[in-house]
Every structure is written in structure tokens, then in C-alpha cells.
Structure 1
Amino acid sequence: MSVAHTQAKVALVTGAAKRIGAEIVRHLHHAGFNLVIHYHFSEKSAQELADELNEERENSAICIQADLNSITQINELATQALARWQRIDLLINNASSFYPTPIGNSSEEDWDNLINSNLKAPFFLAQALAQSLSEHHGCIINIADIYADKPLKKHSIYSIAKAGNVMLTKTLAQELAPLVRVNGIAPGAILWPDDTNKCPEDKLSDDNKEKMLARIPLQQRGQAQDIAKTILFLAQSAPYITGQILTVDGGRSITI
């Protein structure tokens, strides 16, 4: 694909082929961004999403595959993303592994998968893209979790990783100021765990879902678009906000 220059802002969204990531991509595209859609295994979904966006606006989206466990592939993702339009204005670190890791039944592989997707990749992508983000007074938005503060039972490594992600947001905000703003979003119950969860037997039962919803003051599960709209707010309408974690959970965090 030939190199093209653009005056349109460019966003790189990790883990963008499906679910919340895809919704973020669509909202950013509608707001005028060109998109770099990162995926790991979901090539078909990523390409279909890019095709959809390119039908709406020609040459406005590309897909790049990368394993976020690999520093080589993380850096190559940044290089390829920059090469397409010669700029990155917005980095959304959305990709995140999520599955139970009960004490006594967790492996080093579990540790690496969860820590790498939530900490290693966001840090090194920020480092690789810092110059372009600074040149364009861009911003970084990390997807944290309400469990960064109050851990989820049987998900110790995930909760540790998300707690680190919160501190990553704060340290990057300090390191990259004043040219780059860095914030985070901590979703609550937005989407139930995927059917491809590593431990399907640990999926939430209908009864557990009802109990969880009953603890949410707004009495309903959030939608992917709630996260996407918050992304747009932080990216476009919050020039004096940096180093903050915005909780989007229907009030659940005040009850648990």
C-alpha cells in the first residue's frame, strides 16, 4: 500500500476487530479520524470492519496484525501505523486479555499474557509513538477497569495488571506533558465475557448477571457506545484533563 499524507487525524486502536474496540473505531471514524485497526487473531473481523469504513470514506482505515506479547511486533505495529499516513494523533490501548487465574492454578504464561496486553504493549506503543503524538498535540487513552481498585475474585493477575495500567496512565501523563494528554477509562459491566473465554465454565450465569445488575445504581448494563462516546469526549472535548481515570460503570464502583 502506498504512503499517503493526510490532514485528517489518525487513531490507532488496539484490539479493535470486535466488541468495544470495533465500536470505538466506528465512533472515531464517524468523527473524522482515519483508523489503524490492530488485531491479533481476528483477521476476518478486522478486515470486514476496515472494508466497512473504507466504503463510507475511501482510504480511511487499515488493519495491522501484531502479537502484543512480542516487543518486536509491538514496535513494528507502531512503525507500520505511522507509515500509512505519516502521523498518529490518538492511541487507544484497548486490547486486553481477560480470564480467571485462581491462586494455585495460574501459570507464567497466564502472567505474561495478562501483564503484556495491559502493561507492556501500552507502555512500548506510547514510547514508540511519543514523537508523533507530541508533534500533533495528541493523546493516549488506556482502557482500565473498576477492578484495578477493588479486585475481582479468581482474577488476581488481571486485577494486578489493570492496577498497573492505572499507574501507567498517570506516569505517562507526567512524562509526556505538556504536549500529550494521557487518560484512562474504567468500564464497569459493559459486555459480558466473550464465549471464547479461556475458562467457559467460569462464565457468568444468568442468575449472577442479575445479581450484578442489581448492584448497579442505574440498574442496567452499559453499552459499548458508552465507552466510545467517553473516548471521544476525552480526545476532543477535554483539553485540560490529563492523568485521570474516568469511571463509566453506572455507579457500580460506589457500591462494591
Structure 2
Amino acid sequence: MPADLRAIAREAPARAAFHDAVIGALGAVGLQILVNNAAIQRLAPTGALAIDDWQATQDINVTAPFALTQLFRENLSDAQGCVVNIGSVHAQATKREFVAYATSKAALHGLTRALAVDLGPDIRAVCLAPAAIATPMLADGFAGHEDKLAALGAAHPTGRIGRPEDVADAALFLSSPAAAFASGSTFFLDGGILSRLHDPA
């Protein structure tokens, strides 16, 4: 998927083919909501982070959402649709070795605000920023360290990490008529973690 997204972002034939395939599959329903959810996470301290890993992170996490929004702009405009960018709590508060990922998500939050201004009133743009969610990417990062994964869940005031269904429900709400006045906004689906102070005392 990352390689495909990079091609869609940068190669005109890939962009056109992808657009036609998506719109053709939707048929008369049309495109009303674009959810930009794909992401990669390349972890390394600043001194050891490879530029290729930095660039790949920005390509997938920032450039691809912009390219897809650009690609489907006319379709979304026709439908008075909504772009939902899946950001992250790392745009607000991060950890060591997350410099590439945190930067990309901060940029995605900024992109959301800019798109809301640039595309309104025909298209809304909102950002949904989850904390830890039980995805394959999270599981891979904690492979062999289930105790640390449990501790991460317990650190959230809700007492658990999020479920994919939590994100889906929130994205559905933000893209629905019930949230029609929301644009350029970021909704933190964080289980309360950003409200919790962790200090050495």
C-alpha cells in the first residue's frame, strides 16, 4: 500500500487509473466522504533517522492525503462532501524517536485547516486524532512486550487503548450532517491521555 500511495501521489497515470477505478466502483452513489487513514511509522532518534525514512513518512502521511483530496476534489464538491484526515495525538504530545511520525501528523493537522479554508464552502475538512488504537501497526510495535502494551492501556484515563470501531464511529459522526458546522477542526479521540500529566514526582 505505501508504494501504491506514493505512485498515486506522484505519477499521473497511476492517479488517473485510481480515480477512475474508485468512481466507477461507487457508481451512482458517488463520492461523499474521503477518509485519509493510511500511515507509516518509522522510529529512530534524530541523529540516526535516515532521510529516506523521513521522506517516506511525509510522502505517505502528508503528501498522499493531499494528493487524494486533490484527485477527488471535483467529486467531493459535487456531493458537498467531507474530507476526514486521520491525525494523531502525536501532533500534540509525542515521545522519543517519533520525530518523523509526529512531524507528519502535525503537518496533517495543519493541512486540514488549510483545506477547510481553501475548499469551503463546497467541501468540509476535519481531522480525527486518535491515541493508541488496536491496529496491526500498534501490535507490531509491541510484539514481545505485551506487558508494556497493557501498561499503555492503563495509562489512558479510560483504562484501555482504543478500538478500530471507536475511530470508525467518530469518523462517521464527523462526516455526517450532524457535524455540518465542523470544518478545519481537530477532534482528539484520545481516551483522556492528553489530559493526563506524567511527571517524575
* TM-score (normalizing by structure 2): 0.85
* Contact 1:145 1:187 (C-alpha < 8 Å) held by counterparts: yes
1:241 maps onto 2:178 in alignment? no
What are the residue-to-residue correspondences of 1:133-212 with 2, within 5 Å?
Answer: 133-191=76-134, 194=137, 197=140, 203=143, 205-212=145-152
1:131 maps onto 2:60 in alignment? no
Match of 1:230 in 2: 170
1:216 to 156, 159, 162: 156
* Contact 2:62 2:104 (C-alpha < 8 Å) held by counterparts: yes
Tell me how far 1:97 sits from its aligned partner: 0.6
SS, match of residue 169 in structure 1: helix
Distance 1:195 1:229, change over 3 A: closer
Give the Cα–Cα distance (whole angstroms) in 2 for the partners of residues 166 and 188 of structure 1. 14
Give CA deviations for 1:51-83 in whole Å, capped at 9, x if unaligned. xxxxxxxxxxxxxxx711121134532332123
* Contact 1:190 1:222 (C-alpha < 8 Å) held by counterparts: yes
1:88 maps onto 2:25 in alignment? no
Counterpart residue type for residue 229 of structure 1: D
* Contact 2:42 2:100 (C-alpha < 8 Å) held by counterparts: no
Poorly superposed stretches of 4+, deviation over 4 Å: none
Tell me how far 1:136 sits from its aligned partner: 0.6
Give the Cα–Cα distance (whole angstroms) in 2 for the partners of residues 254 and 81 of structure 1. 40
Distance 1:195 1:211, change over 3 A: closer
After TM superposition, the structure 1 stretch with the greater mean CA deviation from structure 2, 97-106 or 154-163, is 97-106
Give the Cα–Cα distance (whole angstroms) in 1 for the partners of residues 180 and 166 of structure 2. 20
Percent of matched pairs sharing the same residue: 28
Q: Unpaired segments of 5 or more residues in structure 1? A: 1-39, 42-65
* Contact 2:113 2:185 (C-alpha < 8 Å) held by counterparts: yes
Match of 2:193 in 1: 252
Distance 1:124 1:112, change over 3 A: same
Match of 1:26 in 2: none
Q: Which has the higher helix share?
A: 2
* Contact 1:67 1:74 (C-alpha < 8 Å) held by counterparts: no
How many corresponding residue pairs? 190
Tell me how far 1:250 sits from its aligned partner: 1.0
Give CA deviations for 1:112-153 in whole Å, capped at 9, x if unaligned. 221011111110111111111011100000000000111221
* TM-score (normalizing by structure 1): 0.68
Tell me how far 1:213 sits from its aligned partner: 2.4
